[in-house]
Structure 1
Amino acid sequence: MPEVLEFPALKEAQGKLDNVNAKLAEIFDEAGQAYDLSKVKCIRGTSHEKAAEIRKLNDEATDLGRQVDNLVQVQKAAERTRSAQEGRETGDGADRDEHERERGKPQKSFGQLFTESAAYKQKQGRTGPESTLDIHLKTLLSESAGWAPPTVRTGRVVDYATRPIQVVDLIPQTTTSNTAVTYMEETTFTNAAAETDEGGTYPEAALALTEKSSLVRKIAVFLPVTDEQLEDVGQVQGYVDNRLPFMVRQRLDGQILNGNGTAPNLRGLLNVVGIQTQAKGSDPVPDAVYKALVKVRVTGRAIPNAVVMHPTDWQNIRLLRTADGIYIWGNPSDAGPERIWGLQVAQTDAFTSAGTSLVGDFANYIELAVRRGIDVQVSNSHSTYFVEGKQALRADMRAALVPYRPAAFCTVTGL
């Protein structure tokens, strides 16, 4: 991985966020499991005044968290620019193809369909006796015995209610041209550096490296469609081009958390050996989350930047109240920050069940290495599709999930 650039503004913002978080942690620790603000001694005032101070600190942590997120993105952009410059100087580069989608022809309006119909053209200019003749018809020309009025759909398709994609966007993406991402991990670091007398023996350090590898896996799906659908309905091609890639990305989103690593599955973060865990126990939920963040910092030596949580678990946090009924995460009339301890919260029901959340440094110590991006193809060579007038539309991608430092992530259980 490229050397991290020094960024004083990021360091300053992170320091301010840590100070605010430490203050909030002290307050919650004194309030205890029941959130009894009367027990809080580190801030003065009534319960309402203390609750207002907590909201003020929480808003400050939210603002600082956004600043840290923005500055991290600036730092990443600077690092990518430097890497790209170094690549140009050494002759490396990659070409990117741009794909354009064919747009369907616009449908005719209702007025156009009506005025161009044979019935309307025959009716034009006919008056007098013919109109009288119509009155004496035994069968009334109505919708039930004549032409039903034409209808035109709006073109909108209401998507099926399914799980949105939440986790993929947290993880940096790179490309690979290999079938596996292989790298070296420093598995032994013994720092024997010590003060030494003149002429004394130098203390001996120890370093050891181990080769690690994450295999590229394929996620695929296909859909049978008749020739007539593709020919007669211009919207079908665009609709399928949208939904099939979504299916692939939704599956990838779930694999990032739950993949068991058995071929052809990716190994998701929840099944990576070495990931840390923090049980809630008798702690308030915010305390348990904060303890997990500390584990990521102290043991994982990383900077956590996001919390992934089941929607019902986040609901329990959003509805937290003090002993005298004051909402901690903001009044019901407020939108409320989707952040905790200044970090963004990604809500997803990709977890197999509620009760477990995941915190970690998603920006630096995990990577999605894409061997081939999502590709959509059409063919009638599948099975007997050629003689049946069918097409097989397929979409797939190949990628490897690379958790560089498992200890940079920690689950929070028992929520």
Structure 2
Amino acid sequence: MSDIKNLTRKEAEEKLQTRQADLAKVFEAARTDDGYDYSKAVSVVSGASDAIAVAEHVKALNAEADELAKHVETFREADKAAADFAARGKARPGFVHPGQGQGGQPANRNQFKSIGEQLVNSPEFKEWYGQRSPQGATVQFGDMLPSEFLAKAAAFETMGSKALMATTSGFAPESIRLPGFVEAVTRPIQLLDILPMGNVSQAAVPYMEETTRTHAAAEAAEGAAFAESTFVFTQRSISVVKITDSLPVTDEQLEDVALIESYANSRLAYGVRQRLDGQAMTGNGTAPNMRGILNTVGIQTLARGTDPQMDALYKAMVRIRTIGRALPTHHVIHPLDWQDIRLTRTADGIYIFGSPMESGPERLWGLPVVQNEAIAENTSLVGSFEPSWITLFERRGIDIQVGYTGSQFTQGIRTMRADMRAALVLFRPAAFHTVTGM
């Protein structure tokens, strides 16, 4: 790698691209679902006989690529220094005091004169005006930068007109925007906090359901036949669905606003999970939708009728125990329905869930209450949120990508997108119970 110092910038850049391509070839051959298996890349590395040899080859390529990148960066810094040097050469001094220029005139006298005044007082203009030459005259303003000339040409007043320095003259006080931003109002993620999570590596989640379970255990006399029970299993399958979101962002936003990329990434991921939260509760199961808890065949339901809200929810808990043969763990209630319950008072006006000075327990009949806006108002859910009865399987985590679609490349726009794949499985639907008419 000592020869790298003798390379030109073009030679170093070309060699760096070659080394990057060599590394990409090895990584592509060695890539696995959980990392890299370098024994799979033996065939693409000349002279390598095992995984260690491939790893040593990768280490050497990476070290050389780092050295080349530093070499190229040195050239780039030198080019930047040259550009800075040229820019400094165009700089003009600021205002100086009168008398410091030639002939007792201000050194920056041109800055006090308008373009027209400088024109008519120039020797070239006076000579042309005196001779009335048809060829015209050429006047050069060598002491003025083009940007200064354009600024004076666009201004209706120059410094020679002695305009008052006020905000109305365009010199307004600077206003710095506060950092950060104010988030828009949006629904929080609520159901995912209590759903058991699992992983799946397939396009569907196949599982066995015990559809028939008949116990025939009984006493028997000596020498008599044994009683015989009947168990029947049926294979079920739930498809993994994809939830997506995307956001177009201009190049300038990505480059000039340090906050925008991380902001967009986090908001896209939040939006996907928020949609997953709603789908897990209310998805109708029609492709490409997930089948949510409320639309799963086999969950129990009960109309509140004339029962107080709290009584109806307790009856649902009992039915989960006696019919679903599971232990209820949570109540899922719309915030407005929970409001009615939380404000319940006795006949003499005492709040039964605690004084208004206290936050009050978000519990009912000993179970935590999850306030969820995805569930419709006037419908509540009681369930046994145990891994034995329900699991949300994730095919993979949230994937965020940035690229171009359609004509975005020529428009300076990039699309940021996020997606995830998941499947919700209710192994025992009867472990969940809705109460309507809340």
Which bin holds the TM-score, normalised by the shorter protein? 0.5 to 0.7
Structure 2 counterpart of 1:383 = 406
Moved segments of 4+, more than 4 Å? 94-97
Deviation at 1:363, TM superposition (A): 2.4
Structure 2 counterpart of 1:234 = 258
Structure 1 counterpart of 2:297 = 273
Structure 2 counterpart of 1:333 = 357
Matched, 1:359 2:386: no
Distance 1:126 1:207 in 2: 104
Structure 1 counterpart of 2:417 = 394
Matched, 1:177 2:236: no
Equivalent of residue 230 in structure 2, options 206, 211, 214: 206
Structure 2 counterpart of 1:149 = 173
Tell me, what secondary structure is at the counterpart of 1:370? strand
Which range is displaced more, 233-242 or 296-305?
296-305
What amino acid maps onto 1:191 in structure 2?
H
Matched, 1:282 2:309: no
Pair 126,289 (structure 1): closer, same or farther in 2 beyond 3 Å: farther
Matched, 1:257 2:257: no
Pair 182,141 (structure 1): closer, same or farther in 2 beyond 3 Å: same
Tell me, what secondary structure is at the counterpart of 1:337? coil
Distance 1:402 1:260 in 2: 14
The two structures have a TM-score, normalised by structure 2, of: 0.63
Matched, 1:403 2:426: yes
- How high is the sequence identity, in percent, across the aligned residues? 53
Matched, 1:311 2:335: yes
What amino acid maps onto 2:194 in structure 1?
L
Tell me, what secondary structure is at the counterpart of 1:336? coil
Structure 2 counterpart of 1:299 = 323
Tell me, what secondary structure is at the counterpart of 1:375? strand
Pair 126,306 (structure 1): closer, same or farther in 2 beyond 3 Å: farther
Equivalent of residue 189 in structure 1, options 213, 218, 235: 213
Deviation at 1:379, TM superposition (A): 0.4
Pair 341,122 (structure 1): closer, same or farther in 2 beyond 3 Å: farther
What is the aligned length?
293
Equivalent of residue 161 in structure 1, options 185, 201, 217: 185
Distance 2:378 2:166 in 1: 62
Equivalent of residue 219 in structure 1, options 226, 243, 251: 243
Specify the structure having the higher radius of gyration (Cα).
2
CA deviation map 1:339-390 (0-9, x unaligned): 1112111112112x3100111011231111100211110002x111111111
Distance 1:142 1:345 in 2: 62
Structure 2 counterpart of 1:32 = none
Matched, 1:412 2:435: yes
CA contact (8 A) 1:170 1:363 kept: no
Structure 2 counterpart of 1:321 = 345
What amino acid maps onto 2:262 in structure 1?
G
Deviation at 1:277, TM superposition (A): 1.0
5+ long unaligned stretches in structure 2 = 1-32, 37-92, 101-105, 107-111, 113-159
How is 1:106-117 mapped onto 2 (pairs within 5 angstroms)? Answer: none
The two structures have a TM-score, normalised by structure 1, of: 0.67
What amino acid maps onto 1:392 in structure 2?
T
Tell me, what secondary structure is at the counterpart of 2:291? coil
What amino acid maps onto 1:205 in structure 2?
S
Distance 2:240 2:284 in 1: 14
Distance 2:359 2:192 in 1: 25
Relative contact order, higher structure (CA 8 A, sep 6+): 1
Pair 96,251 (structure 1): closer, same or farther in 2 beyond 3 Å: farther
Tell me, what secondary structure is at the counterpart of 1:229? helix
What amino acid maps onto 2:381 in structure 1?
L
Deviation at 1:284, TM superposition (A): 1.1
Deviation at 1:95, TM superposition (A): 4.6
Deviation at 1:278, TM superposition (A): 2.0
Deviation at 1:96, TM superposition (A): 8.6
What is the Cα-based RMSD across aligned positions, in Å? 2.5
Tell me, what secondary structure is at the counterpart of 1:346? strand
